[in-house]
Amino acid sequence: MFVKKTTSEIYEIRKHGEYANISLREWSKPELQQFGGEMMVHSSFGSWAYTWGATGQPFKHFLARLTFDYMMGKLMGPETEVFDAEASIKNAMKELIQARRDEKWDKDAVREAYNELGEHLSSSMSQADFGYICRTLSEIVAETADENGCDNIFYEPHYMMATKVNPQAKGFWEHLWPEFVATIKKEIESARPEAEAKQPRQAPVPA
């Protein structure tokens, strides 16, 4: 069994009612070009953590250059994207209109299904709710689809489902992460003269 007590740097960020405590623990062997670190975030948008075993550069330099997709992908994984109800319903409405044009579906069945979708356009339904609505609509259009030998587009609604960036990920990235990056960039800049002073000076080349 092994227990070791260590210390971390904690950055407390407060802005417009939102907050984040970002904890960093860095390990490095500059002489061997080995760098890595751990970041833990506790914020009003969520709590996440990730460890980078090899960053190829000092940890804070690495963090200051991260993109949204890469960083939030590491911190949140697939939860970076969430179901987009409005876009999914609009996709279904487009498919319905196209099916009517291409396959000559019964206009009354199409209108009923279209109106049913329209009633949910401004709702915040879940992915499961969307699937349930599509199952209901598949019954509405089933008869006209069978009569005309057409595919029932609502049997497999997954291809109409759309996603969007998780609002929690977007909120953290837009409101709090820039404050953190600005702070560590200042630290990097202020540490540069000291680091350069420590570098051994090269002897002048004889003329």
Q: Tell me the per-residue pLDDT of 67-84, one tens digit each, with 9 for 90 and over.
A: 999 999 999 999 999 999
Question: What pTM was estimated for this model as a whole?
Answer: 0.80
Same-domain check for residues 107 and 134? yes
Same-domain check for residues 142 and 175? no
Mean pLDDT of the chain: 86
Same-domain check for residues 60 and 96? no
SS3 106: coil
Same-domain check for residues 92 and 154? yes
In a domain, residue 75? The reply is no
Round to whole Å and give the CA distance between 96 and 108.
Answer: 12
In a domain, residue 136? The reply is yes
In a domain, residue 203? The reply is no
Indicate whether 181 pLDDT > 60: yes
Same-domain check for residues 154 and 173? no
Same-domain check for residues 89 and 134? yes
**What does the pLDDT read at residue 201?**
54
In a domain, residue 71? The reply is no
> Residue 197: what are its φ and ψ, rounded to 5°?
-65, -30
143-148, Cβ contacts within 8 angstroms, sequence gap of 24 or more: 143/106, 143/109, 144/105, 144/106, 144/109, 144/110, 145/105, 147/106, 148/103, 148/104, 148/105
Indicate whether 207 pLDDT > 60: no
Round to whole Å and give the CA distance between 42 and 44.
Answer: 7
Same-domain check for residues 15 and 38? yes
In a domain, residue 101? The reply is yes
Same-domain check for residues 145 and 179? no
Nearest 5°: the CA angle 139, 141, 142 is 60
Indicate whether 194 pLDDT > 80: no
> Which comes out higher in pLDDT, residue 160 or 75?
75
| Inter-residue contact 36 to 58 (CB < 8 Å) | no
In a domain, residue 204? The reply is no
The domain boundary residue, chosen from 140, 160, 180: 160
| Inter-residue contact 96 to 153 (CB < 8 Å) | yes
In a domain, residue 122? The reply is yes
In a domain, residue 19? The reply is yes
Same-domain check for residues 142 and 174? no
**What does the pLDDT read at residue 199?**
55
* Of the listed ranges 15-19, 95-99, 152-156, the one predicted with least confidence: 152-156
Domain count, the chain: 2
> Which comes out higher in pLDDT, residue 138 or 5?
5
| Residue 106 domain boundaries | 83-160
Indicate whether 32 pLDDT > 90: no
| Inter-residue contact 20 to 41 (CB < 8 Å) | yes
> Taking residues 133-161, what's their average pLDDT?
73
Same-domain check for residues 39 and 101? no
